Amino acid sequence: MSVVMGHYDEAMVQGLPPEVREGLYSSNSYFMTIDTNENRDYLKRMAALKDVDGIWPHGNGVLTNFGEGTYLCVRAYADAVNRAGNMETTDILSALRTISIKGPQGSVKMDPYTQHAAVNGFLAKCNADGQFDIIKGFGLERPIIPDRYRQLHNDNLTEKDDQVIEVQQPFDVDSFENIVKSQKAHDGPGLLFSTAFNFVDVGLVAINAASKIVQVNLVAEQMFGYQPEEILGKPISILIPPRYRSGHGNHIMSFIKSDSNHVLMGQRGEISGYSKDGREIPIEASITTFQSGGETYYTAMLREVTKYKRIEKELKWQASHDSLTGLPNRKIFMERLEKALERTSTTGKDIAVLFIDLDNFKMVNDSYGHVVGDQLLVLMGEKLLAVVGSGNIVARFGGDEFVVLCEKIKNEKTTTKLAMSINEKLREPIEIEGIKMFPSCSIGVAVGCSGDTSSKHLLSNADAAMYQAKEHGRDKWLPFNAEIYKRSRERLDVANGLRMAIEKDEFSCVFQPIVDTNSHKMVGMEILLRWTPESGPVSPAIFIPVAEMTGSIYSIGSWVFEQACKAQVRLTEAFGYQNCPYVSVNVSSRQLETESFFKDICRTYNDIGANSNGIIIEVTETALMADVDINIRVLKALGMAGFKVAIDDFGTGYSSLSLLTKLPLSLLKVDREFVKNLELSDQEKSVAKAVIGLAHSLGLKTVAEGVETEGQRAILSDLNATYCQGYFFSKPAPLENIINQYGNQTF
Ligand code: C2E
Ligand code: MG
Ligand code: MG
């Protein structure tokens, strides 16, 4: 016997030769060309269509139910999802059991056993002429048979015929209830399951109305570790952990007494089984009733979920922990912080959050690679755990940020002591892969209780205090206080203000000449951004770091670069192509990191018609070292496009000399720190001399920044500083002022 699964109907068999289609059995939930008003109407309309010469089998017009089936399935599924309210498989399946869809053949219900539409299922056999004989009808609704079939099978299946069609569920591997139900138990309980049931991968345990085990299959034997003779006749509770016995026992009894014939055990069908050696086994269980030899039996279907449970546990852990250090992540930390805050309302005691950020971690990563960086983070996590002790929570928020929650605060000194010992512990020199390191961290501490703060505030306060600790020189801790609050509020105001600053036309640019140390002739100028919101001017030293932090720097940086290009065009006009001073523009590391940076600036200078040779990109030494690989790539590309590159604030960062030789650099701008005290001592002079000498040995010209006096200029001249920039020559001013001031210079 060949059974055709899937869609197989009159239309399809037309394409098969008679000898092939004859004898094929087809199992359909629906039958095509069902005789309903809708279908009749549709057939009538189809017969009237052009090129349709009649309705099959007397013509080429064919009506199938394929679309209808699809419609019903999709609708049923969508309704089930709505009813379940979530996407959990078990919940959707439960909901499906209660779904009823209105289709052309009437209301269609879902069969709880097969989870298929329970309407007009047929088993039909194809004849050589391409017509089908209906062998059997099954399903919950009596089938409505098309006329031509009614005539053929009038004896068995007529519309008025009330004879009970033998209910036989289609085989479905997931519906074990079905398997059991469809078995005929001829010889009493001993043969309830056929040997085939020893090959299914689900445990089957049959019990009688007295809850005594009457049969088990092989899987169930192995699952629980019993030989059949050890459990046959025993109460089913033997397979349930002692502490759940009364609960499950009641559940089974209420099922036995009820009218229902199938039920899931436990929440979502999950319960604990109990093996012979006392192990608890998580299992999915459902119980089904069936009749055999005039007796009612109940079959528990059991599927081990150990593997799934383990995976579920693993996934849960991954979602709540940092995989590198194994510490709780932000999500779980916030949950615990929330709970700890709640507890303070009953204990009346404050809790503390310590925000910890490693100092110069990026440098470790960049200099020694991520493997070493990762090891450092793991080690720091371990040290933190050791120093905070049990009862406190240490979490990693990502990057080099760790957070500690301390609930055991006796008095003010507790947090002071804790913060100090963390600073101390993390300051211990360490060695990773033979590299000696001297790490340190900055810590912000915030304390509070449920009435006066929230988890979010506590965390952001600790973060703000940590930020301040960094600003105050790192390797220290600071408690959150009113001053820090003020500063963080200001930062927030700045961040909000910057968002609309371009649209509100609040930015402007000033230019500061860069001159030859000896001749005082202007060789270039630096474009410096100014922000003047309604509340008054804000220094770039304040707003640039905030813009970098919030990402506003991308749009701001593009705007400044555009102004630089326009200035370059204007300078060419004023000084001529040959003598045109260059425009030096500051670029932040956040800008360099963006994929589109290079493309964007090339487009801008092309659009404006500026000369890339007349533009110098200034990158601070610290920014340069932030992500060496990316920066080298971008700076090289800039060099190829004709731009020159200068290192700004040189001497304040930690450049590697070998790196400097690899970059297409033109200028080193010696930080103001080295210029400021030049006149005060010989020692200062020798430091400046070393920095300038270093630049020359790399073949680079130097710009000394912040030159304020003739004395400084004279010393810088002795030290061979190529160029100077500072108030001594000119303060930053609008472009036209500078052009007027230097317009007559000759080169
Ligand atoms: P910078 O790039 O080192 O710019 C030089 C700073 O030193 C300017 O401060 C300038 O006004 C100041 N200065 C110049 N000569 C003297 C002097 O003789 N004495 C003193 N005390 N200061 C002098 P400004 O304009 O406040 O800018 C501060 C920093 O803000 C800049 O330092 C730069 O890092 C950043 N910045 C300014 N404009 C931009 C910009 O458009 N983009 C980016 N990313 N950063 C910018
Ligand atoms: Mg600069
Ligand atoms: Mg500078």
CATH number of the domain within which 537 lies: 3.20.20.450
Q: Please, which pLDDT band fits residue 625 given cuts at 50, 70 and 90?
A: confident
pLDDT at 557 > cutoff 70: yes
Full domain range(s) for residue 655: 500-742
Q: Relative to the CA of 528, which ligand 1 atom is closest? A: 38
Nearest CA to ligand 1 atom 26: 540
Check if 61 has its Cβ closer than 6 Å to any atom of ligand 1: no
Alpha carbon distance 384, 327 (integer Å): 11
Q: Relative to the CA of 620, which ligand 1 atom is closest? A: 34
Taking the CA of 528 as reference, the closest ligand is: 1
Same domain for 518 and 445: no
Same domain for 563 and 678: yes
For Cα atoms 386, 387, 389, give the angle at the middle one, nearest 5 degrees: 70
Cα(528) to centroid of ligand 3, in Å?
Answer: 11
Burial pattern 465-497, b for ≥16 Cβ within 10 A else e, equals bbbbbbeeeebbbbbbeeebeebbeebeebbeb
- Per-residue pLDDT at 164: 25
What six digits make up the tokens of 602? 């090339």
Check if 726 has its Cβ closer than 6 Å to any atom of ligand 1: yes
Nearest CA to ligand 1 atom 27: 540
Alpha carbon distance 19, 9 (integer Å): 16
Q: Which residues pair with 137 in a beta bridge?
A: 122
Q: Which residues contact 503 (CB under 8 A, 6 or more apart)?
A: none
Residues of the chain with pLDDT > 70, as a percent, come to 77
Check if 654 has its Cβ closer than 6 Å to any atom of ligand 1: no
Taking the CA of 562 as reference, the closest ligand is: 1
Same domain for 505 and 473: no
Q: Please, which pLDDT band fits residue 746 given cuts at 50, 70 and 90?
A: low
pLDDT at 696 > cutoff 50: yes
Q: Relative to the CA of 727, which ligand 1 atom is closest? A: 18
Of 111, 130, 147, the one marking the end of a domain is: 147
CATH number for the domain spanning 382: value is 3.30.70.270
Burial class from Cβ neighbours inside 10 Å (0-12, 13-18, 19+) for residue 576 reads exposed
Lowest mean pLDDT among 37-46, 309-318, 326-335: 37-46
Phi/psi of residue 724, each to 5°?
A: -130, 155
Pocket test for ligand 1, best of 509, 512, 514, 528 (most atoms within 8 A of CB): 528
For residue 724, tell me if it sits in a domain: yes
Residues 182-204 have pLDDT tens digits of: 433 333 344 455 555 666 678 88
Q: Relative to the CA of 553, which ligand 1 atom is closest? A: 44
Q: Relative to the CA of 669, which ligand 1 atom is closest? A: 3
Q: Are 639 and 615 in contact (CB under 8 A)?
A: no
Same domain for 88 and 57: yes
Alpha carbon distance 173, 202 (integer Å): 11
Same domain for 669 and 608: yes
Of 480, 512, 532, the one marking the end of a domain is: 480
Check if 29 has its Cβ closer than 6 Å to any atom of ligand 1: no
- Per-residue pLDDT at 351: 95
- Per-residue pLDDT at 176: 35
For residue 316, tell me if it sits in a domain: no
- Per-residue pLDDT at 650: 87
Q: Relative to the CA of 725, which ligand 1 atom is closest? A: 15
- Per-residue pLDDT at 546: 92
Check if 649 has its Cβ closer than 6 Å to any atom of ligand 1: yes
For residue 508, tell me if it sits in a domain: yes
Which amino acid would we find at residue 568?
Q
Q: Which residues surround ligand 3, an ion (CB under 5 A)?
A: 648-649, 705
Same domain for 566 and 419: no
Distance from the Cα of residue 285 to its chain's centroid: 34
For residue 492, tell me if it sits in a domain: no
For residue 166, tell me if it sits in a domain: no
Check if 732 has its Cβ closer than 6 Å to any atom of ligand 1: yes
Same domain for 328 and 293: no
pLDDT at 285 > cutoff 50: yes
Of 147, 164, 197, the one marking the end of a domain is: 147
Q: How many CA atoms lie within 13 A of 428 on its CB side?
A: 15
Q: Are 153 and 140 in contact (CB under 8 A)?
A: no
Average pLDDT over residues 15-43: 66
Nearest CA-CA partner of 262 in 226, 234, 299: 299
Looking at mean pLDDT, say which of 34-43, 205-214, 245-254, 594-603 comes out highest.
Answer: 594-603
Q: Are 672 and 705 in contact (CB under 8 A)?
A: yes
pLDDT at 27 > cutoff 70: no
- Per-residue pLDDT at 154: 39
Same domain for 608 and 532: yes
Nearest CA to ligand 1 atom 11: 732
Same domain for 470 and 518: no
Number of domain units in the chain: 4
- Per-residue pLDDT at 324: 93
pLDDT at 470 > cutoff 60: yes
Check if 712 has its Cβ closer than 6 Å to any atom of ligand 1: no
Residues 382-441 have pLDDT tens digits of: 999 999 987 789 999 989 999 999 998 888 888 999 999 999 999 999 999 999 999 999
- Per-residue pLDDT at 153: 37
CATH number for the domain spanning 272: value is 3.30.450.20
For residue 390, tell me if it sits in a domain: yes
Check if 706 has its Cβ closer than 6 Å to any atom of ligand 1: yes
Q: Are 473 and 492 in contact (CB under 8 A)?
A: no
Same domain for 179 and 126: no
For residue 280, tell me if it sits in a domain: yes
For residue 19, tell me if it sits in a domain: yes
pLDDT at 736 > cutoff 90: yes
Same domain for 704 and 676: yes
Same domain for 137 and 183: no
Cα(529) to centroid of ligand 3, in Å?
Answer: 13
